[in-house]
Structure 1
Amino acid sequence: MIQFQNRQIQLPDGAPVIVSRILGSIDGSTVRQFEEKLLGFLGQGVQHLIIVFSQVNYINSTGMGVLVKIADKFQESGGDISLIDVPDKLIALFNMLGLLSLIKLSKSEEEAVQTFYKNRSQGSGSAQQASVQPKPVAPKPQPAVSQPRRTVSRSAPPKQAATKPRSGAKRKTYIIRCQSCSSKINLGARPKVGTYRCPRCMVVFKLQKNGKIHFQK
């Protein structure tokens, strides 16, 4: 069983705040009622909620998830919620589950009201400052400046002087292909008549006087 004792107060600027005291347990049988009751204040135009937890006997994991959901909904509307008079055992549980970064705790009702008003003032101030910022003016397009055309004079290519072959130029070497392994055999610049051997397959061939090559089978 769960009960709600609700009353309404105001922020210094007149914005309404609901103070809801919860009596009982938030478990599988009451969590739906707990969610619908507190989110119902958003439909009434209330953006700030203080929940008094001093008489909450128990809250299960589902109830803690719903509590985070309620905080998100109020923050999305531009407001917030704050829990006060939370028992130490629940604070330790919230801390262990990492919920203290998602749900705000206040020491008293007055502290929660001051926090709401401070955040509300900062939010409205930043929104007002953003609204008065001048819009950037697009620069006017500058007229295109025609660049003078560059003229390139074409001149006849210089004549190349005839070059004589250097005396130290390499002489032509005689290379043949082995009939056995098809590898190239370098006979040098001045091969002599005689018998040779392929350095790869070791086949023997002869260089004859008429310049012909005869490979032995």
Structure 2
Amino acid sequence: MKTDSTVQDGILFVRFSGDLLGSPDSQQILDTVNSHLGDSILNCAIDLSNVRYINSTGIGVLVSLLTKYRSRGGELILISPAEHPRKMLAITKLNAIFTIVDDDAAAVEQLKTVS
């Protein structure tokens, strides 16, 4: 799995590609996010459009990140999950917990209302 991150408009954008399966990927993701939490970045948008497959460990990482942001008064949004991640979110009923948007612009707009 590949991870790319940028900060834009005070929002951490993290883009994943490949399969989100757990170690060592989960540690890489947590390290990326933790490195920005100290920068007082309270909101995060995770792009899942290029994630082919996600398992329970990958879902757990997303839940962990959501908890990190919400416990600091921020929010985490998922951008355009691909077919398999979208199905996994629906099966686990986490699609009711996560805010899911179609693109970066919608994520920025949604996160502006949180700040």
**d(CA) in 2 for partners of 1:60, 1:92:** 11
- Structure in which a larger fraction of residues adopt strand: 2
Give CA-to-partner distance per residue, 1:81-100, whole Å, 9 cap, x none: 11112112321220111111
Give CA-to-partner distance per residue, 1:20-57, whole Å, 9 cap, x none: 11122222332222222223321222111111111112
Matched, 1:67 2:62: yes
- State the AA in 2 paired with 1:70: L
Query: 2:71 maps to which residue?
Result: 76
User: How do residues 78-117 of structure 1 correspond to structure 2 at under 5 angstroms?
Assistant: 78-117=73-112
Query: 2:14 maps to which residue?
Result: 20
- State the AA in 1 paired with 2:99: K
**d(CA) in 1 for partners of 2:3, 2:102:** 20
Residues paired across the two proteins, number: 114
Matched, 1:43 2:32: no
CA contact (8 A) 1:7 1:19 kept: yes
**d(CA) in 2 for partners of 1:68, 1:38:** 13
Structure 2 SS opposite 1:45: coil
Q: After TM superposition, where is structure 1 displaced by more than 4 Å over at least 4 residues in a row?
A: none
In the superposition, the TM-score normalised over structure 1's length comes to 0.49
Query: 1:53 maps to which residue?
Result: 48
CA contact (8 A) 1:82 1:105 kept: yes
What is the deviation of 1:106?
A: 0.7
What is the deviation of 1:60?
A: 1.4
The root-mean-square deviation of aligned C-alpha atoms, in Å, is 1.5
- Structure in which a larger fraction of residues adopt helix: 2
CA contact (8 A) 1:68 1:102 kept: no
Which structure would you say has the larger RCO, counting Cα contacts within 8 Å and 6 or more residues apart? 2
**d(CA) in 2 for partners of 1:88, 1:102:** 18
Identity of aligned residues (%): 25
Q: Structure 2 unaligned segments of length 5 or more: list them.
A: none
Q: Structure 1 unaligned segments of length 5 or more: list them.
A: 11-15, 121-217
1:108 to 1:116, Cα distance in 2 relative to 1, 3 A: same
In the superposition, the TM-score normalised over structure 2's length comes to 0.87
Query: 2:7 maps to which residue?
Result: 8
